[in-house]
Amino acid sequence: MKDSHKHQGLRNQLVKTLVSKGITCKKVLEAVGKIPRHLFMDSGFVDFAYQDKAFPIAAEQTISQPYTVAFQTQLLEIEKGDKILEIGTGSGYQTAVLLEMGAKVYTIERQQELFKKTKLFLPKIGYKAKQVIFGDGYKGLPAEAPFAGIIVTAGAPFVPKALLAQLKIGGKLVIPVGDDVQIMNLFVRTSENEFEKHELGDFKFVPMLKDRN
Ligand code: SAH
């Protein structure tokens, strides 16, 4: 499968849609304008790749809606070289956005099928994460902590303490919290023991599940 002028045109449209919905971070918009999202989706859905919608991928999971990816990424305020942990690798699209922005990315996926597929796929199209890990995101990645940012791309029933503990001072955790509908939470670590919390609207994610599968 290739990238074409047609795809680039559709991507430019998608970027405009994200701007109209309130995304302002230039680096995020550039990343969305550059990444061939159609390559991250099963072939049957290629025609829909540049609509601002979530779509099914393997193992009953979804590739997040571009607006959601952009909204969460924007909250992280990434600087080049920042160490970022992603929970829920899925298709790898969010991983690619983080890499385009110059982050050093560690990403964890609990579904073996998706883990295997995406670990092989990302380098094929030129995206090199520091580590793609088969594991349980509730535990984070203590061996590589602290992180400048942690982004959770599944709906969490609660905020895992391990993730807060793995932020550096000034670091940010972006996590959708709730069961049926999730509220986007942003935590900023302001000192060893203090966190600022912001609630930033309703979203809908597949659930964050325990253990590996
Ligand atoms: N970032 C992905 C979104 C995929 S949907 C993308 O851009 O495509 C959320 C993903 O989180 C699913 O792949 C699901 O298997 C994974 N997930 C759910 N609970 C998890 C956990 N505890 N640890 C790691 N990954 C988890």
Terminal-to-terminal C-alpha distance of the chain: 29
Ligand 1 site, residue 31, Cβ cutoff 6 A: no
CA distance 34 to 194: 37
State the average pLDDT over residues 106-118.
96
In this prediction, residue 60 has a pLDDT band, given cuts at 50, 70 and 90, of confident
Amino acid 110 reads: R
CA-based torsion, 148, 81, 70, 58: positive or negative: negative
Q: What is the Cα–Cα distance from 175 to 40, expressed in whole angstroms?
A: 23
**pLDDT tens-digit readout, 28-43:** 999 999 999 999 998 7
pLDDT at 1: 65
The predicted pLDDT at position 124 comes to 96
The reported pLDDT for the residue numbered 212 is 77
Per-residue pLDDT band at 182 (split at 50, 70, 90): very high
What would the mean pLDDT of 104-130 be, rounded to a whole number? 97
Report percent pLDDT > 90 for the chain. 89
Query: pLDDT at residue 58 above 90?
Result: no
**35, 45, 52, 87: which to mutate for ligand 1, most atoms within 8 A of CB?**
87
Q: Which residues pair with 196 in a beta bridge?
A: 188
Across residues 102-116, what is the average pLDDT? Answer: 97
**Domain extents in the chain:** 5-203
Relative to the CA of 209, which ligand 1 atom is closest?
Answer: 19
Q: Above 70 in pLDDT, residue 82?
A: yes
| Average pLDDT value for residue range 187-213 | 94
Looking at the chain, the number of H-run helices and the number of E-run strands are: 6, 9
What's domain 5-203's architecture?
3-Layer(aba) Sandwich (3.40)
Q: Is the pLDDT of residue 46 over 80?
A: no
Reduced to 3 states (helix: H, G, I; strand: E, B; else coil), residue 183 is: strand
pTM over 0.85: yes
The residues annotated as belonging to the active site are: 64
| Phi, psi dihedrals of residue 39, rounded to the nearest 5° | -75, -15
Ligand 1 pocket residue status of 61, Cβ below 6 Å: yes
